[in-house]
Structure 1
Amino acid sequence: MMTGFRLNLSPLKEPIGFVKLVEWLTAIFAFGCCCGFSGKNVISILCGDGSNETLNAMYQYPFRLSQFPLIDKNTTLCNQSVTTTHMMGDSASSAEFFVGVGIICFLYSMAALLVYLGYMHVYKDSDFGPIFDFVITAIVVFLWLVCSSAWAKGLQNVKSATDTEGISGTLALCKGSNITCEVTEFANMRTLNISVVFGYLNMLVWAFNAWFVYKETRWHSRKFSSQPGPGRHQVPAPI
């Protein structure tokens, strides 16, 4: 059996190769939209004497919000002394899990494409390659479901911690009866919302691809070969 590299682009014209290319692209969009984010919310503070103060809440991936200060040093706001205050919340585990799955799928898709385009003759002549590919594909479908759901919840926690209610609950100053705090400018989280959409899209694409990978395994070929053809008649077993 020849095991050398043979460049053959025909798998890209077949579902098994074309869908793998789609998986490679969707993985890039998923983790790229998440890990490249940085944003700023502007908080307006209306003091009891009618004066206004402004604070900037800046945060970014991996959304460990407790490390980002609302007030960096002790200062005076609305004639009150305010100590160093950080935002509350930590969505780093779900965000990093999501990005990690995306990077792994990006690398695996790239490696699988290399095998399809250069070693398809070896891939189809062996039992190990298709079965390994199918098992990994099934595991990845589950991972995308879990990490996308976890990141969707983590993103909701980030939004809740950085909105008016979350900021007001964090700043002791905002709990005064004569002081009003409000987030007047929100960071654009469109890319984060897109990352969640691409997470679930990846799950669907990988689940779709699982069927075409399964067709390359011996499990499918044995099932197909065991079915009687249109001209065959099964001989009844002797009684």
Structure 2
Amino acid sequence: MDVVNQLVATGQFTIVKQPLGFIKALQWIFAIFAFSTCGSYSGMFKMSVECKNRSESDLGIEVEFEYPFRLHQVYFDAPTCKGGNPERLFLVGDYSSSAEFFVTIGVFSFLYSMVALFAYIFVLEKYRENNKGAQIDFVVTAVFTFMWLVSSAAWAKGLSDVKTATDPDRVITLITACDEEENRCREVHDPKVSGLNTSVAFGFINLILWGGNLWFVFKETGWLGAFAGTYAQPSQEKQPAPDSFAQPGYGQEGYVQQDPYAGSQGGYQPEYGQQGGYEGGDYNQGGYEQQGGPTSFANQM
């Protein structure tokens, strides 16, 4: 308790409140739900065979099956309705590979999530040192995401086959006595497979959790910053180009200083001011007055 109180006081448990640690905790919980609902399953269905000779009938044939669903090893005894010993019949199918694969992925996911949570809480600084821990975490998370996809899909198909193989209406067709019209065969109790349906749902929930956690682990790897720097560098190199284009061409020697329409700073005002163009009395000293045009006109008047 002292260690826990110390961790709470130092704020190391705050990582669990962040998406990185919170989703990892959910992975740990839902992995338990996934492999426990599948690995601990046991089911049973019941049938009845009513022979023409009632003394040979069996109205309570129970067939039990369980994980890992090697149904070809599950058998039951059914009456022949012809006297003598009952016949022994076996179910059809072996679906242990998909079921065991699903449970194995769930167990390893549970163990890895527990180790990752331990690293987040107790050795977070070493986890983030040089980004090595985050990079390993990202690769392992990606592998488990793919494994949850494969195992959940395989177990969903395997569960569908298990339901078909344990359907009492289908199993009844294996009984020889049920081929005779005078004998009456029917199902009494269907197997309950709601727990198995839940295991498939938990499998796909784990797929979503592990896939969603990829983004938060990826941000810890440092690869995002490396990619951003790679794409930002070319744009920074192209920034001086407009400045070099503006300074020599148009900013200093172009249209600003050589604009003929600038009244007080252009080229025409100093030029006419010095040569007696348009300013003040210089106009009367220009070429028009020397030609005598206006004076001769006054004399004529």
Deviation at 1:155, TM superposition (A): 0.9
Identify, as 1 or 2, the structure richer in helix: 2
Give the Cα separation in 2 of the matches to 1:22 and 1:171.
47
Aligned to 2:62: 56
**1:65-117 deviations in Å (ceiling 9; x for gaps):** 1111112xxx7442344332221111111110000000000000000000000
Aligned to 2:3: none
Cα pair 2:38 2:99 within 8 Å, conserved? yes
Aligned to 1:70: 76
Larger radius of gyration: 2
Aligned to 2:190: 186
- Runs of 4+ residues over 6 Å off in structure 1: none
SS in 2 for 1:170: coil
Higher relative contact order (CA 8 A, sep 6+): 1
Percentage identity across paired residues of the two chains: 37
The correspondence of residues 46-195 of structure 1 with structure 2, limited to 5 A, is 46-49=50-53, 52-53=57-58, 54-71=60-77, 76-80=79-83, 81-195=85-199
Cα pair 1:40 1:57 within 8 Å, conserved? yes
> Quick check: 1:38 aligned with 2:45?
no
Give the Cα separation in 1 of the matches to 2:224 and 2:161.
44
Cα pair 1:168 1:175 within 8 Å, conserved? no
Cα pair 1:38 1:61 within 8 Å, conserved? yes
Specify whether residues 76 and 167 from structure 1 end up closer, same or farther in structure 2 by C-alpha distance, changes over 3 A only: closer
For 1:30, give the aligned amino acid. Answer: A
Deviation at 1:222, TM superposition (A): 1.2
- Which of 1, 4, 22 does residue 26 from structure 2 map onto? 22
Deviation at 1:44, TM superposition (A): 1.5
Equivalences, count: 228
Give the Cα separation in 2 of the matches to 1:109 and 1:134.
13
Aligned to 1:3: none
Give the Cα separation in 2 of the matches to 1:220 and 1:30.
33
Give the Cα separation in 1 of the matches to 2:76 and 2:165.
12
> Quick check: 1:202 aligned with 2:198?
no
Specify whether residues 221 and 173 from structure 1 end up closer, same or farther in structure 2 by C-alpha distance, changes over 3 A only: farther
Give the Cα separation in 2 of the matches to 1:130 and 1:173.
64
Specify whether residues 55 and 181 from structure 1 end up closer, same or farther in structure 2 by C-alpha distance, changes over 3 A only: same
Deviation at 1:172, TM superposition (A): 2.8
Give the Cα separation in 1 of the matches to 2:130 and 2:166.
54
TM-score, normalized by length of structure 1?
0.87
Give the Cα separation in 2 of the matches to 1:217 and 1:101.
25
SS in 2 for 1:182: strand
RMSD: 2.3
Specify whether residues 179 and 38 from structure 1 end up closer, same or farther in structure 2 by C-alpha distance, changes over 3 A only: same
Q: Which runs of 5+ in 2 are unaligned?
A: 1-5, 242-301
TM-score, normalized by length of structure 2?
0.70
Q: Which runs of 5+ in 1 are unaligned?
A: 1-5
Cα pair 1:164 1:181 within 8 Å, conserved? no
Deviation at 1:234, TM superposition (A): 2.0
SS in 2 for 1:58: strand
Cα pair 1:82 1:173 within 8 Å, conserved? no
For 1:64, give the aligned amino acid. Answer: R
